[in-house]
Amino acid sequence: MDLPVMPPVKPMLAKSVSAIPPGMQYEAKWDGFRAIVHRDGDEVVIGSRTGKPLTRYFPELVTALRENLPPRCVIDGEIVVAHGGRLDFDRLSERIHPADSRVRMLAEQTPSSLVAFDILALDDRSLLSTVQSERRTLLETALSGASAPVHLAPATTDPVVAQEWFERYEGAGLDGVVAKPLDLPYRPDVRAMYKIKHARTADCVVAGYRFHKSGPVVGSLLLGLYDSEGVLQHVGVCAAFPMKRRAELVEELEPLRIDPAEHPWAAWADAAAHEGSRLPGAPSRWSGKKDLSWVAIGPERVCEVAYDHMEGDRFRHTTQFRRWRPDRTPAGCTYEQLEEVVRYDLSEVLPAG
C-alpha cells in the first residue's frame, strides 16, 4: 500500500456543546464503530478510532469497499449494523470475536455497512489541509456511484434541517448531530468538531460500586432499574467523580455494604444467569482480563443521573451523576419513567442503494 496518507490514522474528534452552532456543515451522529478506510487497489485496511485494525472483523465490508470506493483513497466513516429498521450497537459489537468462523457467520446474518462522511486522500493527493467544504464536495463526487452497503452520510448547511434531524433520527438509533466548521482542515486526534447529543435524566437505584483502578476509592456506581416484574436490572454505571469525592463515597456507602449472597445480583459471576437478567460483570470481548468484581450494597439509595439514550434495556453510554434523591424510594425507579423515543425507520435516513 502506497497512499499519501498512510495507516494508522486517528480520526478527527468532536467536543460536546449544548446547542447546534450556526454557520457550519451538519450531519447525523452515527452510533457505530468509527473507522478510517485505506484503499489502494485490492488492498483495503480498516482502522479503528485508536488505530487498531478492524479489517478481519468485517470481511463482507472489505468486498463492498473494493466495489464502491475510488481505487486509491482514504475515507473517514462509521461502521454500523442495522436491525429492525434502526442501528443496533449490540449486534455490531458481536462482530469483534476471535473466531474467524463466527465472524464470517455473523457477516452473513448481520451484515455491516459503512457510512462515509469525510475523505482524507484521493489518488496521490493528501486532503488533510483541505477545508471541510471542499472535502465534502470531493467526497460526494468520489461516492457518486456507490451503493449499499456503502453510503454517503447526508449533510446540510441549514441549521433548521439539522434541528429536525436531531429530533427525528434518534428513533432510528442515531444519537445526535455533528457540526463541522466549513473552513476546518482535517485534524487527526483533535476535538475540532462539535457534537450535540440528547440529554435526559433518570432516577436509579445505586446497588453497588467498583473500585477505581488507582486504589480503594469508588471507580463507578452500579445502577439499577426495576422491570415490570419487579426484578432489579443492571442498566449501567456513572463514573465521573473528582478523586476526593471518590474517597468520600467509600465512607458514605460503607453502612450499606451487604453480603453479596444476599444481593439481587448475587448470581452475577454465573455466566448462565446473564441470559435471563441484566447483571453486572457480563462476559465481554471488550473487558479481556479486566477485574469485573464489585462491592455489593443494599439497594436502598436513589440517585439522579443524566444519560443520552438507551440501547435496548440499558444506558448506551456512561451516565453522569447529578444528585442524590432522598425523596425517592428505590421501588419507584422503574423503566416506566424513561422517555420513549418515537420509532423512525433507518431507511428514511439511508435509502437502500
Q: Is residue 94 over pLDDT 70?
A: yes
More confident residue, 16 or 128: 128
Calculate what percentage of the chain has a pLDDT beyond 90. 64
Helices (H), 69-220: 89-93, 100-109, 132-142, 159-168
Calculate what percentage of the chain has a pLDDT beyond 70. 91
Task: State the greatest distance between any 2 C-alpha atoms of the chain, in Å, as a whole number.
Answer: 65
- 308, 175 Cβ separation under 8 angstroms: yes
At residue 291 the predicted structure's pLDDT band, cuts being 50, 70 and 90, is low
- Surface-to-core class of residue 332, CB atoms within 10 Å of its CB (0-12 exposed, 13-18 middle, 19+ buried): middle
Sheet with 177-181, strands from edge to edge, namely: 13-16, 191-196, 177-181, 24-28, 155-156
Task: Give residue 317's pLDDT.
Answer: 83
Domain with CATH 2.40.50.140 in the chain: 200-337
**Number of neighbouring beta carbons within 10 Å of residue 213:** 9
CA distance 217 to 210: 8
Q: Among 157-161, 236-240, 276-280, where is mean pLDDT lowest?
A: 276-280
Under CATH, which number does the domain 200-337 receive?
Answer: 2.40.50.140
Q: Is residue 286 over pLDDT 60?
A: no
The three-class DSSP label of residue 23 is coil
Phi, psi dihedrals of residue 194, rounded to the nearest 5°: -130, 140
- 72, 41 Cβ separation under 8 angstroms: yes
Q: Which whole number is the average pLDDT over 81-110?
A: 91
Domain with CATH 3.30.470.30 in the chain: 13-198
Phi, psi dihedrals of residue 202, rounded to the nearest 5°: -150, 150
At residue 18 the predicted structure's pLDDT band, cuts being 50, 70 and 90, is confident
Which residue is catalytic, options 10, 15, 29, 52? 29
Task: Give residue 282's pLDDT.
Answer: 55
Task: Give residue 340's pLDDT.
Answer: 61
Task: Give residue 175's pLDDT.
Answer: 80
Give 51-61 pLDDT, tens digit per residue. Answer: 889 999 999 99
Q: Is residue 128 over pLDDT 90?
A: yes
Q: How big is the CA angle at 335 (ends 333 and 339), to the nearest 5 degrees?
A: 110
- 24, 56 Cβ separation under 8 angstroms: no
Q: Which whole number is the average pLDDT over 36-43?
A: 97
Query: Which residue spans within 182-288 are E strands per DSSP?
Result: 191-196, 200-212, 215-226, 232-238
Q: Which whole number is the average pLDDT over 204-224?
A: 92
The mean predicted confidence, pLDDT, of the chain is: 89
**Is CATH 3.40.50.300 correct for 13-198?**
no
Task: Give residue 343's pLDDT.
Answer: 66
Task: Give residue 352's pLDDT.
Answer: 52
Q: Which whole number is the average pLDDT over 230-245?
A: 91
Identify the sign of the CA torsion 182, 184, 190, 191: negative
Respond yes or no: is residue 244 known to be catalytic: no
CA distance 226 to 337: 11
Q: Is residue 287 over pLDDT 50?
A: no
Task: Give residue 181's pLDDT.
Answer: 98
> Among 173, 207, 226, which Cα is nearest to 341's?
173
Task: Give residue 275's pLDDT.
Answer: 62
Q: What is the DSSP letter of 257?
A: B
